[in-house]
Amino acid sequence: MSTKNLSRALLYAVLLVAALFFLAPLYVMLATSFKDAAQIRNGNLLSLPDSLNFDAWSLAWSSACTGVDCRGLKPYFWNSVTMAIPAVLISTTWGALNGYVLSLWKFKGSELLFGFLLFGVFMPFQVVLLPMSQVLGYLGLSSSITGLVFVHCLAGMAGTTLFFRNYYTAIPKELVNAARMDGAGFWRIFWRIVLPLSTPILMVTLIWQFTNIWNDFLFGVAFSGADSKPITVGLNNMANTSSSVKNYNVDMAAAVIAGLPTMLVYVLAGQYFVKGLTAGAVKG
C-alpha cells in the first residue's frame, strides 16, 4: 500500500471513530426510547429494543408530568415554535440591515459602533439577566413569549450583524456605486442587488439563530412564565420530576423530540450552512 493510500485509510479510520463517538449518545437515546421498563432493567445500555414500542413517545408528547402539569412536552414544543420562528426572522433581518449599513453605507463612527457591537458577541448572557428583566418589566413583557422573542432578538443582534457585515464587505463597491449613479437608493440597492447575493449568509444565519434560540435554556428559565416556557425548560422539568419509578424511556423520547427540529434543520439545510461558511461568512 502506498503512503498516500495509507494516509487516506488512517484518515477515514479516525473520522469513523470520531463519528461513532459523537453518534453514540444519540443511539442510546433512540434505543432506550423504544424499550419498555422490563427491557431497560434486564438489558444493557447498548442493546437493541426487542420491538419498536412508541408508548414512551406518546407519553413524552402528551401525558408525561413536568411537576404537577401532566400534559407532556406538547405545550412547551409549540411555545418554542411560536418563539423561535419570529425571533429567527427578526434577528436575521435586523442583522442583514445592520451589516448592510456598516459595510456599504459607512458613516462617521461606523467602525467604532461596530466595535461596540462586537462586545455583544463575547459578553456572557448571565450579566444581562437582571437589567433585561427590568426592561421586560417596564415594557410589560415579563413572563411572555413576546418577551422571549424580544430578548432573543437583542441577544442575537451582535452575532447576526457580524456575519452579514463580514460577508457584505466582499461585495464589490463598484457594483453599489454604479447602482447609486443610476439613481437607486438605500432600499432599492438592498432589495435588488445585495439581498439576491446573500443566500449563503442568510442560510448560515438562519440555521445558526434557530439552533441557538431553540436550544436556549438560560433565557427560557429566567424570563418565561407558567404558560410560556420553551421546550428546553419543559424537558428539564420532566427529567427532574421525581416519582416512584424513573421512566428513562420517556425521558429519552422527550430528549429526542426536543432535538428533532434542529436535527432536521441541519439534515435538510446543512449543505447550505457549509457553503455559507466557505463563502466567507465568518471571515473578519
Per-residue pLDDT tens digits for 27-66 = 999 999 998 888 888 877 788 888 888 889 999 999 888 7
- 8 Å CB contact between 232 and 215: yes
pLDDT of 284 above 60: no
Whole-number pLDDT of residue 85: 95
Number of CB atoms found within 10 A of residue 182's CB: 9
pLDDT of 272 above 80: no
- 8 Å CB contact between 46 and 31: yes
The helix/strand/coil state of 197 is: helix
The helix/strand/coil state of 124 is: coil
- Who has greater pLDDT, 138 or 120? 138
- Who has greater pLDDT, 82 or 181? 82
Q: Which among 123, 181, 165 has a CA at the least distance from the CA of 284?
A: 165
The residues facing 69 across adjacent strands are: 66
pLDDT band at 282 (very low <50, low <70, confident <90, very high): very low
pLDDT band at 200 (very low <50, low <70, confident <90, very high): confident
- Who has greater pLDDT, 13 or 115? 13
> Rounded CA gap, 169 and 155, in Å?
23
Whole-number pLDDT of residue 277: 64
Q: Which among 263, 169, 249, 280 has a CA at the least distance from the CA of 215?
A: 263
Mean pLDDT of the chain: 87
Q: Residue 247 gets which letter from DSSP?
A: -
Over residues 252-272, the mean pLDDT reads 87
Tens of pLDDT, residues 222-233: 999 888 999 999
Q: Which among 196, 227, 232 has a CA at the least distance from the CA of 212?
A: 232
Give, to the nearest 10 degrees, the angle between helix 74-104 and helix 55-62. Answer: 70
145, three cell numbers:
413569549
> Rounded CA gap, 25 and 217, in Å?
20
Over residues 121-131, the mean pLDDT reads 87
Q: Which among 141, 123, 143 has a CA at the least distance from the CA of 230?
A: 143
Percent of the chain at pLDDT exceeding 70: 95
Over residues 152-181, the mean pLDDT reads 89
Over residues 182-210, the mean pLDDT reads 89
Tens of pLDDT, residues 61-75: 998 887 777 888 999
Residue written as grid cell 421498563: 37
Out of 1.10.3720.10, 3.90.76.10, 1.20.120.80, 3.30.70.2860, the CATH code matching 74-278 is 1.10.3720.10
Whole-number pLDDT of residue 107: 84
List where CATH 1.10.3720.10 sits in the chain. Answer: 74-278
Residue written as grid cell 447576526: 160
> Rounded CA gap, 110 and 112, in Å?
5
pLDDT band at 1 (very low <50, low <70, confident <90, very high): low
* pTM of the predicted structure, to 2 decimals: 0.86
> Rounded CA gap, 123 and 131, in Å?
14
Tens of pLDDT, residues 89-114: 999 999 999 999 998 888 888 888 88
